[in-house]
């Protein structure tokens, strides 16, 4: 298991957050693709599952490398993270679905790419300020 080494500078946090987001994006698109290819799930239902997989991965990367543990109990931290992630996921899904409905020829990959990009700023600020900031450090 990797020892937690959170970024020490704002620039470091941005790069680490970008890495977390990039790895989450790969997981999101990969799971979406595999579910659409190997199951009867369509792009809307499969995306719900793929978002959940990406959220779990991003929590671990952000907690370990981007922000560090907040000092709150992990359950409280997880609940705070989930609240921001679920709002972000809702926005992400609405943008994704809106793009697919407005532009039926648009590939789900591109709709995912646009939705993730739009929600990234909201997520960073929410995680930095509400989830991992402000707790008493151990």
pLDDT of residue 36: 95
Average pLDDT score, the chain? 87
Q: What is the pTM of this model?
A: 0.72
Mapped onto helix, strand or coil, the DSSP state of residue 39 is: coil
pLDDT in tens, 68-87: 888 888 888 888 998 998 89
pLDDT in tens, 42-67: 999 998 899 889 888 988 889 888 98
Q: How is residue 100 written in tokens?
A: 């697919």
What's the rounded Cα separation, in Å, for the pair 120 and 117?
5
Burial class (CB in 10 A: 0-12, 13-18, 19+), 51: buried
pLDDT at 29 over 90: yes
What's the rounded Cα separation, in Å, for the pair 127 and 73?
16
Whole-number CA gyration radius for the chain: 16
69: closest CA among 25, 96, 122, 61? 61
Element (H, E) at 50: helix 43-61
pLDDT of residue 51: 84
């Amino acid at each position: 298991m990797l020892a937690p080494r959170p970024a020490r500078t704002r620039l470091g946090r941005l790069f680490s957050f970008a890495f977390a987001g990039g790895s989450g994006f790969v997981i999101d698109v990969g799971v979406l693709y595999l579910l659409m290819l190997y199951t009867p799930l369509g792009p809307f239902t499969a995306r719900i599952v793929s978002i959940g997989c990406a959220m779990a991965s991003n929590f671990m990367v952000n907690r370990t490398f981007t922000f560090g543990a907040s000092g709150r109990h992990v359950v409280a931290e997880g609940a705070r993270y989930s609240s921001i992630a679920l709002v972000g996921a809702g926005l992400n899904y609405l943008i994704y679905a809106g793009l697919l409905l407005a532009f039926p020829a648009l590939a789900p990959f591109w709709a995912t790419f646009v939705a993730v990009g739009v929600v990234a700023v909201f997520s960073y600020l929410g995680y930095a300020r509400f989830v991992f900031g402000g707790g008493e450090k151990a």
